[in-house]
Structure 1
Amino acid sequence: MKRFFDWREPILAIQFLTRIPTPQIHDFEPSLLAKSVGWFPAVGLVISALLLGIVYACALLDPWLAAILGLAFWTWITGGLHLDGLADMSDGLGAAHRDPARFLAVLKDPHLGSFGVLSLIIQCLIKLVLLMLIVKQQQWAALLLIPAWARSGVFIWQTLPALAPGMAEQFAWKNSRNAALCWWSTLLTASAYLSPVLLIAPLVLVAYRQWLKAKIGGVTGDCLGAGIEISESGLLLIAVVGTGIIAAIHS
């Protein structure tokens, strides 16, 4: 008998994307991982709600304190999963020189190279500064929506060919078109009411997909994680700059 709602899917999404304690799944099936993708934006909202609570409370004392503790919490709750993907992808791109075989070989290397280290440093600095500016502008709605927007990108990034067996291939087992349409409609509506500058978010997600297609011709699990990090930073930047431009026009 087919289940109308399988509670294992959201639980697995939380387990995969965060360090949040969850009930243990005893009857795990590999196909559940693909089905759990539909819950990724919801997990993003859980992460952002907790993040917002910490940042908002610390912002009462100092914007930089809020940004530093917010970034620390953001990294901890995700277990550095997406940062790891960004570092691996950066190492691969730095050594590949448009050679897909070399790119995949570097991805499999457990050691972190100079390109990976630099990408981690730059990414953390970018997020730190942008978080501080988000706090100063009091863009709480944007901070709430951005992690969900970033994780919704997996819906379209996974449509690229998987370059090797792994997470990207498993996510592609199931078509998430209905979940994508539902979540993007929800996030667009919420953005229109709460943070209009984020209406550009789908273009950011599509742009990353097109970049992956042109640069490496497909996707890996590391590319998916890197995409979440890149999208979060990009949307934070758009929120900060967009709000600044709007404020300048009104003044």
Structure 2
Amino acid sequence: MNGSPPSPLSSFLASLTFYTTIPLAWVGPLTFHRIARFAPWVGLLLGCSLGLLDQGLAAVGMPPLTRAALGVAIWVGLTGGLHLDGAMDSADGLAVMAPDRRLEVMADSVTGAFGAMVAVLILLLKTLAWVELPRGLPGESLWLLALVAGWGRWAQVVAIARYPYLKAQGKGAFHKKEFETPWDWLLGLVSLIVIASLGFLCHGLSLVLVISLTLGGVVLGLGIPAWFNQQLGGHTGDTYGAVVEWTEALLLCGLTVFSAPGT
């Protein structure tokens, strides 16, 4: 029926198309109505794919640092650098002392020194933390990477839901316009908690690890968007990307404390 809302499957596929470089032209026309609610699911799928890649490379004998670097490079490739570009632009904007010029600088396509430094820092943190992920169980890195990528995108959903969008037009404006609270951000939150619980119940992940990852995801998912809002008075498409990148990087770093010494 004309005017009827798209099915959840169609919305998820549209979300996958928007947030990744996965070719889905064969699916047919997609409607991008309320796709942000499925961003955590896209993150889970991406993280799961990266975890499978990590296991496959380990099986053929690739050293940990090399496969971590390759995995992070593919991570950027699968997202088209969308979120990393936002983190870089946000860093350039926040480096400006005059608050009224920050949005103007963020909109500039030229990458500044602070943007370049932030990109290096994020990629370095992700790569080194990937190497040190807990691997006490077979497939443990798969669960952890999936949840980290999921929480990163849930943090973006929080930014969309809780804070004003600062541009009348922009690459993230339609997310805010079509967002429905609280259901859209609760969908991702419940999904991530369920997946984490399944990791504990079905795969034997440490309960302390699962609880810590969940609490870390919630704290960072609420705190990082709040910090950007404090700095700018709201959010843009660039800060949405920055929220994803910093949540992922810091969660990965936090998980390294659960690695056994010497592994």
What is aligned with 2:249?
233
1:206 to 213, 216, 222: 222
Deviations 1:203-228 (A, max 9, x none): 11100122022111100000000110
Displacement of 1:103 in angstroms is 0.6
| Structure-2 residue corresponding to 1:71 | 72
2:176 paired with 1:163: no
Q: How many residues align?
A: 240
Unpaired runs of 5+ residues, structure 1, are: none
User: Within 5 Å, which residues of 2 pair with 1:101-180?
Assistant: 101-134=100-133, 139-140=140-141, 141-158=143-160, 159-164=162-167, 165-174=169-178, 175-180=180-185
Task: Call closer, same or farther: CA 1:161–1:132 in 2, change over 3 Å.
Answer: same
Q: Could you list the per-position Cα deviations for residues 182-212 of structure 1 after superposition, in whole angstroms to 9, with x for gaps in the alignment? A: 3212212332424332121111110012202
**Partners in 1 of 2:146 and 2:28 — Cα distance?**
32
Cα deviation code 1:69-95 (max 9, x no counterpart): 111111111111111000000000112
The CA distance in 2 between the partners of 1:137 and 1:219, in whole Å, is 39
Does the 8 Å contact 1:162/1:218 carry over to 2? yes
Stretches of structure 2 lacking an aligned partner (at least 5 in a row): none
Task: Measure the CA separation in 1 of the matches of 2:53 and 2:27.
Answer: 30
The alignment partner of 1:167 has SS state of coil
Using the alignment, how far apart are the partners of 2:104 and 2:37 within structure 1? 30
CA contact (8 A) 1:87 1:119 kept: yes
Is the Cα–Cα contact under 8 Å of residues 39 and 157 in structure 2 kept in the other structure?
no
8 Å CA contact 1:55, 1:69 repeated in 2: no
User: 3-state SS of the aligned residue for 2:68?
Assistant: helix
1:218 maps onto 2:238 in alignment = no
Q: 1:116 to 1:34 in 2, by over 3 A?
A: farther
Task: Compute the TM-score of the two structures, normalised by the length of structure 1.
Answer: 0.87
Q: Does structure 1 residue 189 correspond to structure 2 residue 194?
A: yes
With 72-81 and 162-171 compared, the bigger mean Cα shift is at 162-171
What is the alpha-carbon root mean square deviation over aligned residues?
2.1
Q: 1:134·1:143 contact (CA, 8 Å) conserved in 2?
A: no
Sequence identity, in percent?
26
What's the CA shift for 1:170?
A: 1.2
Deviation at 1:137, TM superposition (A): 5.7
| Other-structure match for 2:43 | 44
CA shift in 2, pair 1:15/1:102, >3 Å: same
Residue type at the aligned position of 1:52: G
In the TM superposition, residue 6 of structure 1 has moved relative to its aligned partner by: 5.2
CA distance in 2, matches of 1:231, 1:66: 22
Residue 4 to residue 104, structure 1, CA distance change in 2 (3 Å): closer
Q: Give 1:102 shift.
A: 0.4
Q: 1:66 to 1:27 in 2, by over 3 A?
A: closer
Q: CA deviation at 1:25?
A: 7.3
